Amino acid sequence: MNAYSAQTDESALTLLGKRLAAFRIRNNWTQAQLAEQSGVSKGTVERIERGDSVQVVNFIKVLRACGMLESFLSIFPDDSPSPMQLLYMGKIKSRQRVRSPHKNTNTANILADNAAEYNADKPANDASKTPWVWNEDK
C-alpha cells in the first residue's frame, strides 16, 4: 500500500478516479457496463474517473456495484461498544438457563382457565349455553 498524502481535494479526487478506472479495467468492465450495474449514468462514471465532483449517493452506488462499499465504510471505525464492553458495563445480562414447566402441571387446569377467560364476556345466568369441548360427543 502506497503512502500518499493528497495535497488538495482535487488531487485526492483525481487519485480516487484513477484507482476506480484501474479497478474497472482489471475487471474487464466498460464504463457503460459499470454505469448500468450501478444505476447511474455513463457520464457519472466518466466524471468520477476524471476526478470531477459527483454526488455522494452516486459514488456510493458505483462503490456498491464494484463490491467496495464495505471497504469504503471501514474508513471510519464503528464506535459502538463491543459485546465485551457491553457486558462489563452491565448492559448485557448473563444468560440463564430456561426452566421447563413442572411435570405435575395439570392440563385440565389450563383448559379450565382458558374456558373461564372465554366465558368472561358472556352473562353468568345463561347456563344452557356451555362452550364446546373437544371430544365431548364420545
Distance CA 53, CA 10 (A): 9
Closest alpha carbon to 35 in 22, 26, 47 = 47
With bands split at pLDDT 50, 70 and 90, how would you rate the model's confidence at 73? confident
Q: Which domains does the chain have, with CATH numbers?
A: 9-73 (1.10.260.40)
Over residues 37-63, the pLDDT tens digits come to: 999 999 999 999 999 999 999 999 999
C-alpha R_g of the chain: 33
pLDDT at 125: 54
Q: What is the H or E stretch that residue 84 is in?
A: helix 83-89
Average pLDDT over residues 106-115: 53
